[in-house]
Amino acid sequence: MLIIPAIDLKDGQCVRLEQGRMASATVFSAKPGEAAAQWAAKGAKRLHVVDLNGAIAGKPRNEAAVKEIVAAVDSDVPIQLGGGIRDLETIERYLDGGVSYVIIGTAAVKNPGFLHEACDAFPGHIMVGLDAKDGKVATDGWSKLTKHDVIDLAKRFEDYGVEAVIYTDIGRDGMMTGINVEATVRLAQALTMPVIASGGLNHLDDIRRLCEVEPEGITGCIAGRAIYEGKLDFAEALKVAAGDA
């Protein structure tokens, strides 16, 4: 089970939000590259980076910070990046710049044809971010709730060749109230592609519960506010995920 530190970018800084609200941003580092290097040094095998401004604007807004992050970590620590990615040119630029996986969220929901094109053009490098509340998918930086059922939509995307689905329970994100394991398992059971859990990771028991259901197809978990505030010890989390604790 991968434990993936999140680096959320707002105005060039590393922040955390509560339930996606930009006004609730807490700045954890003014130097995203240093934050990335810190997690890599502590044993992270992958980093999850989100351009929050880009997610709302619909185009990249923190490319300079992304470049800092790529430069700060070894190439053997893959970076998965989302936020404001709406065209093939942007995907190509990020991949050429050292990003390993590009996450398509809002654009996948609003324009499935674009997602299909991206998977064809960049096989093995495209993930889908599905953010949901009460089983319904949200878009535009979580500001709009759609009528799309998250499982139905994910199953449609599966045939496109998506590398993985990152599933976020936006009712829990940044709130440290615990991963919604049941909803994540339901999604994973309905799919053959891997699912990465996100939203609400709070303590080691969350990781233990996810490890128990890993055979269902849950391959990783994104860690945010809890590891930044020290409520969850990252080193211990890695041990639990590896079955050593």
Mind telling me the catalytic residues? 8, 131
Both structure tokens of 32: 């995203």
Q: How far is it, in rounded angstroms, from Cα 93 to Cα 35?
A: 23
Question: Residue 23's CB: how many other CB atoms inside 10 A?
Answer: 6
Which is it for strands 136-139 and 126-133: parallel, antiparallel or unpaired? antiparallel
Among candidate residues 193, 117, 115, 113, the one with its CA nearest the CA of residue 151: 193
Among candidate residues 231, 194, 234, the one with its CA nearest the CA of residue 216: 194
Q: How far is it, in rounded angstroms, from Cα 198 to Cα 78?
A: 18
Q: How far is it, in rounded angstroms, from Cα 81 to Cα 6?
A: 10
Both structure tokens of 60: 């990249």
